[in-house]
Amino acid sequence: MSAPEIHVEFAPELALFVAHGRRGGPTPVTTDGASSLGHVVESLGVPLTEVGALRVDGREVPRSYVPSAGDTVAVLPVARPQHIPGAPLRFLLDVHLGTLARRLRLLGVDTAYESTDIGDPALATRSATEKRVLLSRDRGLLHRRELWAGAFVYSTRPEDQLRDVLDRFRPDLRPWTRCTACNGLLKDATKEEVADRLEGGTERSYDVFAQCQECGRAYWKGAHHEQLEAIVANALAEANRPTPPAAPPRRS
């Protein structure tokens, strides 16, 4: 079979995945004449989770398209907001994204998190089994076939990570409804119900409580509350949503 040469141009958003020589304009790529365009793009280092439309000489083509000699291919980033059909939006975060996991839970976004390194195959399988969007900064993980859906986390800073994920997926925000430790849903609780989980000072000082229905952890207005309020307020403002009625305060 012949080995057609095509030209591939990546959008600036995808430049970080490709070798320096392939950034900033169409660059020649020799294909095998049989592989799909999706495969060609992936083999150049770009996880398909980050790829939106593919255009050949200005015409949109599916990932299964087999490029032929002389094609000029434009690779665009995934469109935002990104809708993933087939299940309610929920996430699975790898071991390196603990802070992001807690912030998403603080905002009421269904977020599973592996606090130990269970390995790429197990993570990908969990994504498939539970239909969760895997968030990771590990490109190799995002190439795995078993993944149900995935997304690369572009920043190393939790503030930027949160902004990026909220901008990309626009999840419904329900602040103060989830346990930041285990992702369980919170219920209102009385001081008596959570008394055995409180320290003496806490019991005296505060009387608005909630409790995780999964792990039993008690929540109350604590020392970090202002910081958490700020995270919630920022997220709601950036999502351009009206601020919900004041909710009972919770501990982190």
Residues that bind Zn ion (CB under 5 A): 179, 181-182, 184, 212, 214-215, 217
Q: How far is the CB of 181 from Zn ion (least distance, A)?
A: 5
Q: Identify which of residues 102 and 217 has a Cβ nearer to Zn ion in the complex.
A: 217
Q: How far is the CB of 184 from Zn ion (least distance, A)?
A: 4
Q: How far is the CB of 219 from Zn ion (least distance, A)?
A: 9
| Cα-based angle 24, 43, 17 (whole degrees, multiple of 5) | 45
Q: How far is the CB of 212 from Zn ion (least distance, A)?
A: 3
Q: Please, are residues 108 and 173 in contact by the beta-carbon 8 Å criterion?
A: yes
Q: φ and ψ at 60, to 5 degrees?
A: -75, 135
Distance CA 11, CA 48 (A): 14
Quote the crossing angle between the two packed helices 98-106 and 225-238, to the nearest 10°: 80
Q: How far is the CB of 77 from Zn ion (least distance, A)?
A: 35
Q: Identify which of residues 147 and 179 has a Cβ nearer to Zn ion in the complex.
A: 179
What is the number of helices (H) and of strands (E) in the chain?
Answer: 8, 12
Q: Please, are residues 190 and 131 in contact by the beta-carbon 8 Å criterion?
A: no
Q: Identify which of residues 78 and 181 has a Cβ nearer to Zn ion in the complex.
A: 181
Distance CA 183, CA 212 (A): 9
Q: Identify which of residues 46 and 212 has a Cβ nearer to Zn ion in the complex.
A: 212
Q: Identify which of residues 135 and 212 has a Cβ nearer to Zn ion in the complex.
A: 212
Q: Identify which of residues 47 and 108 has a Cβ nearer to Zn ion in the complex.
A: 108
Q: φ and ψ at 162, to 5 degrees?
A: -65, -45
3-state secondary structure of 233: helix
3-state secondary structure of 195: helix
Q: Identify which of residues 2 and 199 has a Cβ nearer to Zn ion in the complex.
A: 199
Q: How far is the CB of 94 from Zn ion (least distance, A)?
A: 20
Joined together, the tokens standing for residue 226 give 């202002």
| Cα-based angle 23, 26, 30 (whole degrees, multiple of 5) | 100
Q: How far is the CB of 203 from Zn ion (least distance, A)?
A: 20
